[in-house]
Amino acid sequence: MKDYVKVGNLQVASVLFEFVNMKALPGTGLSNEKFWQGFEALIEELAPKNKALINRRAEIQTKLNNWYKDHQNNFDFEKYIAFLQQIGYLETEVEDYEITTENADDEIVLQAGPQLVVPVNNARYAINAANARWGSLYDALYGTDAISDEDGAKKEGKYNPVRGGKVIAFGKQFLDEVIPLKNTSHKEVTQYSIIGGKLTVTLSNGKTDYLLDDNKLVGYHGKIESPETLLFQNNGLHFEIKIDPTHPIGASDRAGVKDIIMESALTTIMDFEDSVAAVDAEDKVEVYSNWLGLIKGDLTASLQKGGKTITRTLHPDRSYNSLSGDAITLPGRSLLFVRNVGHLMTNNAVLYQEGQEIPEGIMDGVITGLISKHDLLGTGQYKNSNKGSVYIVKPKMHGSEEVAFANQLFDRIEDLLELKRNTLKIGVMDEERRTSLNLKNCIYQVKERLVFINTGFLDRTGDEMHTSMEAGAMIRKNDMKSSTWLEAYELSNVVVGVGAGLPGRAQIGKGMWAMPDLMADMLKQKVGHLKAGANTAWVPSPTAATLHALHYHQIDVKDVQQKFTNAREGLRDSILTFPVAKNPTWSEEEIQQELDNNAQGILGYVVRWVEQGVGCSKVLDINNVGLMEDRATLRISSQHMTNWLHHGICTKEQLLDTLKRMAKVVDEQNVGDSSYRSMATDYDNSVAFQAACELVFEGRNQPSGYTEPILHRRRIEAKAKQRIEANK
Ligand SMILES: CC(=O)SCCNC(=O)CCNC(=O)[C@H](O)C(C)(C)COP(=O)(O)OP(=O)(O)OC[C@H]1O[C@@H](n2cnc3c(N)ncnc32)[C@H](O)[C@@H]1OP(=O)(O)O
Ligand SMILES: O=CC(=O)O
Ligand SMILES: [Mg+2]
């Protein structure tokens, strides 16, 4: 039983009550009494509306299920459209308009670059992410498969000079592409100097050369004739050449270059949602505390590096001299967003009206907003927003009525926290089918506070499967990536975003690179996001941010976005083309492969979520590729298995056998983890194994196919079980 404090008609878990009163509220100018009274009024007004929206989702899904069942043998696309319009799934579109968001930071409105996402509960990673505004290109190349192992270039020993040579050659090639010299290559440079306000390079043949575009050099650090740092800007993104002939790498370079430091994660999303396992008041306080520490600038993490304990802290801003001798300061940290949870879940951290749990999304909005007020008042060590805005990403909204609700919630939070209207900015995840189809209406509802739309294609794929569960057996998971609906959805998102005036006011973002170790592939493929009109795209790690930043130097997204017209011909119908396999001819082997892969991913992720509270993991697929797994990828895998079972592609026994067999594989993969709890030793009593089974066998009954209801319940169960065991 939780320890609660009665505050008005609310019951607030003591741990949260104390955190809010002692840590979050002091310094915000708000009294405890007024805050809790206002919070209660907000809950009384909005919780019932929230509930009604969730009920509406269920009603719509039931109607869809019935329609698909009734039209198995006489499907007619025109009738399908008419039906979707009649049930309000397809909305009547608003007239053309443009968003009017004001006071968004430069990272959003002027610059284009990578967006990093990080589970906020992991302080070590979260601080690292905030600091990932700048990253070493040489480290990112040396440490990943972006540089191949061929020709003696393996990562061997302390430093392999052959590999190092390849890294340096890559770096020089980058310089030749983005800051070319007039007559020669950066490979020929023996010294960089600034003479008469211009970069002047000395070459190996003793001659001098200059930049083709002198304006790309914007600052330096150190002596002007032999700078330690040269600061450049290209397509609005910065990078530094670091020069130090006494450094082991600098010594091996004729110009003494020891590194190229890239401006990398312009923005970072501190995630409270799909990469986090926060199921009760204690967990919620942990995530809120980290957000407070990030906003106040005092979050630290101790870690072991090279046999030493180090304390990780937030980086300060960076200073340079401009070419005219003035001081220049650039941000040392990423501009931080928070991703709140969506409208679905409730949490027992606060109870209202006879012990009902309050909607977790409302709680997140109020408390992350409250904490962010410290940034607006400047009570912390650093500033996050220079424009006085707070950035909240809202996931998993279905259609414009839910976006309108988020807008109303933000209005109420602003009133409660005494913030100017539209201080709270919103990032809308375009990751549910009803939102993709009605995106123009969705954006309209938040047109004064919108700072991004982003194609969360992972959740979107899960929603695609669940929505059309009754329509038939889904195509294989990997084939989804090139399916008609997905390509149309990605294109439509950009076209609608450009049409609604986002360029210059808000980001048009694309989804996560979910293969954190495949950086060579990312370098080849993720440039496609820019070519498709996105001015930001998600990366899973700081290293990926540094490498993805290269793409924004290759392509100026502003030019790409200008080429988009408002033509949406055929896109709606393509989005509505559900990915059902017509007359599938999969062999038994292919079916089993698909099941094995999904089962391994589900189990590998769920076991750490449920037993250890780890919300995001790198889990091997059956080809031994480490994949980023979170609740959205779990939604896909579990819904896929559910769908194949429902349509008789496999049997229940086969699924259970598969899950049991793959549990052994996952157990084996985790032998090195002393806190790991095996599943295969006792399937019936493994909470994780049972959770995985439930996700698959009860998948059709899960709201929108979401995994959070089962994960939360099972995590609470596992925690209780572990407490009992610990007390024995
Ligand atoms: C569909 C969606 O919603 S996507 C959004 C949700 N997903 C995410 O947020 C993914 C975030 N990424 C991660 O959590 C991690 O990168 C994982 C779980 C995928 C892989 O983690 P690991 O297996 O620990 O990665 P790996 O061992 O390769 O790297 C660890 C190092 O990279 C750093 N790192 C890895 N990911 C991140 C990150 N997202 N932010 C900051 N640092 C990170 C760690 O701090 C660590 O460095 P350190 O030792 O100096 O502290
Ligand atoms: O949140 C991101 C997604 O792809 O889902
Ligand atoms: Mg998502």
End-of-domain residue from the set 575, 600, 634: 575
Q: What is the reported pLDDT for 202? A: 97
User: Does 677 belong to an annotated binding site?
Assistant: no
Using left for φ > 0, alpha for ψ between -120 and 50, and beta otherwise, residue 692 falls in alpha
Indicate if the pLDDT at residue 359 is higher than 90: yes
Tokens of 435: 């939102």
| Residue 536 sits in the same domain as residue 571 | yes
Q: What is the reported pLDDT for 2? A: 62
User: Does 449 belong to an annotated binding site?
Assistant: no
| Dihedral (CA of 416, 418, 419, 420) sign | positive
Q: What is the reported pLDDT for 354? A: 87
Q: What integer is the mean pLDDT of 357-363?
A: 98
User: Does 273 belong to an annotated binding site?
Assistant: no
For residues 342 and 361, the answer to whether their CB atoms sit within 8 Å is yes
Q: 467 phi and psi, to 5 degrees? A: -55, -45
- Verify whether ligand 1 is closer than 6 Å to residue 395 (CB atom): no
Q: Name the domain count of the chain.
A: 3
User: Does 457 belong to an annotated binding site?
Assistant: yes
Contact residues for 20 (Cβ-Cβ < 8 A; gap 6+): 12, 32, 35, 367, 370
**Cα–Cα distance measured from residue 26 to residue 203, given in angstroms and rounded to the nearest whole number:** 60
Q: 634 phi and psi, to 5 degrees? A: -65, -40
Q: Quick check: is 84 in a domain?
A: yes
Residue pLDDT, tens place only, 248-266: 999 999 999 999 999 999 9
Q: What is the reported pLDDT for 620? A: 96
Closest listed ligand to the CA of 460: 2
DSSP secondary structure code for residue 95 in this structure: P
**Cα–Cα distance measured from residue 235 to residue 553, given in angstroms and rounded to the nearest whole number:** 6
- For the chain, the average pLDDT equals 97
pTM: 0.98
Indicate if the pLDDT at residue 1 is higher than 50: no
**Cα–Cα distance measured from residue 492 to residue 164, given in angstroms and rounded to the nearest whole number:** 43
Single-letter code of the amino acid located at 521:
D
| Residue 246 sits in the same domain as residue 287 | no
Q: Quick check: is 418 in a domain?
A: yes
Question: Angle 671-675-677 (CA atoms, 0-180°, nearest 5)?
Answer: 70
Tokens of 313: 């802290």
Over the range 522-561, which residues count as b (16 or more CB within 10 Å of their CB) and which as e?
bbeebbebbebbbbbbbbbbbbbbbbbbbbbbeebbeebb
| Residue 281 sits in the same domain as residue 398 | yes
- Verify whether ligand 1 is closer than 6 Å to residue 118 (CB atom): yes
Contact residues for 313 (Cβ-Cβ < 8 A; gap 6+): 127, 299, 300
For the CA of 116, the closest atom of ligand 1 is: 39
Q: Quick check: is 495 in a domain?
A: yes
Residue pLDDT, tens place only, 138-155: 999 999 999 999 999 999
Which residue owns the Cα nearest ligand 2 atom 2? 456
DSSP secondary structure code for residue 675 in this structure: T
Using alpha carbons, select from 631, 618, 518 the residue that is nearest to residue 279.
631
Using alpha carbons, select from 265, 392, 282 the residue that is nearest to residue 14.
282
Q: Which residues are catalytic?
A: 339, 630
Q: From 125, 461, 519, 617, give the residue whose CB has the most ligand 1 atoms within 8 Å, as the site to mutate.
A: 125
Q: What is the reported pLDDT for 374? A: 98
Closest listed ligand to the CA of 629: 1
Q: 62 phi and psi, to 5 degrees? A: -65, -45
User: Does 274 belong to an annotated binding site?
Assistant: no
| Residue 472 sits in the same domain as residue 614 | no
Using alpha carbons, select from 289, 301, 223, 303 the residue that is nearest to residue 256.
223
**Cα–Cα distance measured from residue 150 to residue 297, given in angstroms and rounded to the nearest whole number:** 43
| Residue 256 sits in the same domain as residue 385 | no
| Residue 340 sits in the same domain as residue 487 | yes
For the CA of 538, the closest atom of ligand 2 is: 2
- Verify whether ligand 2 is closer than 6 Å to residue 616 (CB atom): no
| Residue 90 sits in the same domain as residue 204 | no
Which residue owns the Cα nearest ligand 1 atom 35? 541
For residues 229 and 240, the answer to whether their CB atoms sit within 8 Å is yes
Q: Quick check: is 32 in a domain?
A: no
CA of 238 to the centre of ligand 3 (A): 30
Indicate if the pLDDT at residue 37 is higher than 80: yes
- Please report which confidence band the pLDDT of residue 655 belongs to, taking 50, 70 and 90 as the band edges: very high
Q: What integer is the mean pLDDT of 66-80?
A: 96
| Residue 519 sits in the same domain as residue 667 | no
Residue pLDDT, tens place only, 442-455: 999 999 999 999 99
| Residue 75 sits in the same domain as residue 202 | no
**Cα–Cα distance measured from residue 135 to residue 549, given in angstroms and rounded to the nearest whole number:** 10
Q: What is the largest CA-CA distance in the chain?
A: 84
Q: What integer is the mean pLDDT of 87-103?
A: 98
- Verify whether ligand 2 is closer than 6 Å to residue 459 (CB atom): yes
Tokens of 319: 């200073």
Residue pLDDT, tens place only, 176-200: 999 999 999 999 999 999 999 999 9
Indicate if the pLDDT at residue 696 is higher than 50: yes
Residue pLDDT, tens place only, 566-578: 788 899 999 999 9
DSSP secondary structure code for residue 262 in this structure: E
- Verify whether ligand 2 is closer than 6 Å to residue 456 (CB atom): yes
- Verify whether ligand 1 is closer than 6 Å to residue 271 (CB atom): yes
User: Does 275 belong to an annotated binding site?
Assistant: yes
**Cα–Cα distance measured from residue 584 to residue 590, given in angstroms and rounded to the nearest whole number:** 11
- Verify whether ligand 2 is closer than 6 Å to residue 431 (CB atom): yes
Q: What is the reported pLDDT for 565? A: 83
Strand order of the β-sheet with 208-210 is 189-195, 198-203, 208-210
End-of-domain residue from the set 551, 575, 599: 575
For the CA of 511, the closest atom of ligand 2 is: 4
Look up the ipTM and state it.
0.99
Q: From 274, 338, 627, give the residue whose CB has the most ligand 2 atoms within 8 Å, as the site to mutate.
A: 274
CA of 457 to the centre of ligand 2 (A): 6
Contact residues for 589 (Cβ-Cβ < 8 A; gap 6+): none
Q: Quick check: is 676 in a domain?
A: yes
CA of 119 to the centre of ligand 1 (A): 8
Q: Quick check: is 207 in a domain?
A: yes
Using alpha carbons, select from 385, 344, 394 the residue that is nearest to residue 365.
394
Please give the helix or strand (H or E) that residue 263 lies within, else none. Answer: strand 257-263
What CATH number does the domain containing 597 carry? 1.20.1220.12
Q: Which domain holds residue 699?
A: 588-727
> pLDDT over 90 for what percent of the chain?
98
Reported in sequence order, the residue ranges of 353-503 that DSSP labels E, i.e. its strands, are 356-359, 390-394, 424-429, 450-454
**Cα–Cα distance measured from residue 208 to residue 215, given in angstroms and rounded to the nearest whole number:** 18
Q: Give long-range contacts, CB 8 A cutoff, 24+ apart: 157-162.
A: 159/248, 161/252
End-of-domain residue from the set 575, 604, 634: 575
- Please report which confidence band the pLDDT of residue 558 belongs to, taking 50, 70 and 90 as the band edges: very high
CA of 456 to the centre of ligand 2 (A): 3
| Residue 593 sits in the same domain as residue 466 | no
For the CA of 431, the closest atom of ligand 2 is: 5
| Residue 393 sits in the same domain as residue 427 | yes
Q: Quick check: is 325 in a domain?
A: no
Q: Quick check: is 141 in a domain?
A: no
| Residue 534 sits in the same domain as residue 561 | yes
What CATH number does the domain containing 224 carry? 2.170.170.11
What CATH number does the domain containing 524 carry? 3.20.20.360
- Size of the chain, expressed as the number of residues it contains: 728
Query: Residue 698's Cα: distance from chain center in Å?
Result: 27
